[in-house]
Structure 1
Amino acid sequence: IPPAGKNRIAGRSVVRPQALPPLLLVALLGSAAWVSAEQRVPLVLWSSSRDLWVPPLENTHEGHITTDIQLSCYLDHALEKGPRNVLLFLQEKLSIEDFTAYGGVFGDKQNSAFSNLESALELAPFSLILPSVDCYAVSTLTSYLKEKLGASPLRVDQATLRELKLSDTLPAVLLLRLPYTTGPGLMVLKEVLTGNDEIIGQVMSTFKSEGVPHTAILTALGPSRVVRDLSLMSGSLGRHPLQKEKDVQTLRLSPPVLSPVSYSDTEPRILFWAQRFTLVYKSQASDLTLLTFGTPTLNLTGSSWNTSFAQLVLTYNNLFGPFLIIRFILSSHFYPVSARSWFTMDRLEIHTNKSSVAFYFSHVTAPSIYSFRCQYVSTHRSKQGILMSSPDPTPWHVTFQNFQIQAFNCSGGNFSYASDCAGFFSPAIWMGLVSILLMLFIFTFSLHMLLNLKIMNHFDDPKGRTLSVSLTPSVT
């Protein structure tokens, strides 16, 4: 059992110098600078329990990327022997460079944007730091905690946290979302990180005052910065074992795609998927991707289906109020002209306890035996959105990236052949056709002029005066 004053970085026990606690965060860059930061985020864990032991994993090396299976191996021991109250600080974006750029150096907590986090790590009997974790592992973290502890994640804030009464025996998973800005200016970013650190400090003070044993986790959904892959620079890193290089290349594979939403009665009836699903109400934005796709506990109460009408209802708790209901309404009709059935997306409805709005789709249609797919579906007119709201204008904005839906003739729970929203004559094709026609016109006109060109047969001016020159000189 590691004594107090020690922590662990990626499975190795490291003595933490009491005089220089910020160097613990600065040391994160050393093991992450060898790989690209794309789709990799740090994860920091600390606990109020001393009786924790995380066994080191085999085949770990400099620049190692923690996968979802390895992360579960780390957390299994901490959750089985540690406190049953888990506090998850989930930031939208975070990279290892944020700690080194805005953290304190040589114990200077006054200028550090992570002073409360550094103090929590310094005072915690046990802590674990993983410099590079696969984003897919973070996306499945809430599902893992729910399955491991048997408690659904409860999204809370500072106000509701004070009203909760936590128990030492009953498990609880509390989720706090921390914002992140991508605006210009380093000071703006530092202010946001400092504000998030103050939230962490206030929450930890609340737990400490109530004497509740806990395990806290800080991580992010995606990286805030993309660092050039140094392994591609010839001769910059020296020699590396071939086996280790092969392992790093294997871990750089893209994470699996989240499974689509599937409504079934006797068999799958409605399928819905998007690479990213975001919802904005006034100035409040929320990314619903991880709450919607790949989540078996998604509430689909109210959904219905028959051969001519389909309704997919998604219900979220404690989002934009006590509840958020999103309803997709589709219908199928037979058209004698084309001798086939076509389905259309009639509207998308959003309901909360304070407001409701309906969006009408202008071009979401496809044969009923196909699915519909579009790269970008949004309410933003500036981005060629195809969603029209009623009433208009509305404070709600919806954005789907790589949107795909099918409500009829689903076979085997998989999407059928997709009818894409992109037309055959795209703007680039039209520009090419116009340029070709213009050049063809110029060529035809030039050829016509050349064919009608006539050579002059004489050079005399019939209207001019004739000039006569005498050939013999005159004698005086």
Structure 2
Amino acid sequence: MSGSRWPSKAGLPALLAVFSSLFAAGSSAAQVPLLLWSSDGLPPLATSAEGHVTSIDQLTAYLTAALGSGPHTVLLFLQDKLSKDDFTVFGGVFGNKQDGAFQNLEAALRSSSSSVTLPALEWSGSSAVLPLLQEKLGVSPLLVDADTLSHLSINTSVSNLLLINLPYCSGSHKSCKEVLHNNDQIIGKVLSIMKSQNILYTAIYTGIQPSRVISEMSVPEQSVGRSLLQEAVTNASMPIIYRVSGSPCIMLWAEHIILTLSPSGPGIDLAKETASVEGSMCNGSYSLLHLNYSSGITLSFAMSQRLYPVSARNWFTLDSVQLQVNDSTVSFTGRRGIYAPAEYSFHCQTVRNYQDGLLVPDPKTPSQWRLDFEDFQIQGFGLANGTNFSYASDCAGFFTPGIWMGLLTSLLMLFIFVYGLHMIMQLNTMDRFDDPKGPSISVPQTE
């Protein structure tokens, strides 16, 4: 079950902060957020990882526990559209909180005995919350508003499902904020009426559909995703994984693996071929990945990790890459910067064995074969994220040639400015002047 159990004083700011962090993680499916709070208490909800999308089955299981026994009065605030963006943009998190559009909702979360938030509830064309509540409560929904509710007599000895429909905007940000603010006022009025009548209730705020649908590639739940530098997956190719007892041990991904015999020769893209990992092995200090292609080509990656006392942490290095074509074998060493902390993965846009590449040909096995990896990422240790790469250590240096040129130019201009200022400060005025009106100086002459 996805979500977090909030303490009674958490309020909407903490909720919006979580929404912001979860929005950065993203998801491949359309989602709607769901807020649930109660004046009578809710059962505990296990905390799950950020970015997890709650399924309808998981929501059903939780509502069964929350509404399973005794009569309940449920307020369903069902908005036409709702997404996490509505909270981050119009909630006042990045500006003055007094200008936020959800002030009454924030107050309700503060005053409730317990609350639950599901930042990402799966959505598949229509809202399933209303029919799910009908099934759990065994009653039909009663459509009400703040005015009719104030004159309505509610029988708390039976279950009640009160539906409050809320509109959504379709114009600019300003009009959207106004509509959401008006909806928040309606929520505040309804909750005030329930409080004045001393009725215990459970309230749910969600949307019929998302207001913003992020278009991303759908990745099946059982498939292996690719997490590169903490960015969203945008490539359909899956990494190559070597598993030991069902757990990932080595992971490699490259958009292209180009193998050519000479600079002018035709290239072979091994990334488009199917490779087996037979013959691979790994342990705590050494990993070996064998890629056996159907064309008879074999690539081997040897990695090791050890403790470096200077940094007081373990680092892994790609010691060698071996290429076997038919009966010939070529080896390359990765001594030019192919390393990363043991718990990280290594990423580089280009890894090759020519033109000052990161792979250095072994002089014992000279060859004209050219090996070129594009968008290369590898990890041989510490795969704690399961089927995803860990945080990537990139080969790109911080000081690029453009940055160096800018720094040197700035230093040169600064030197010229300081030198000129120094020369100006060294100028002195004359302390004596000739007086043209005074007597002339006579120099006596002696014969």
- TM-score with structure 1 length normalisation? 0.44
**Normalised by the size of structure 2, how large is the TM-score?**
0.47
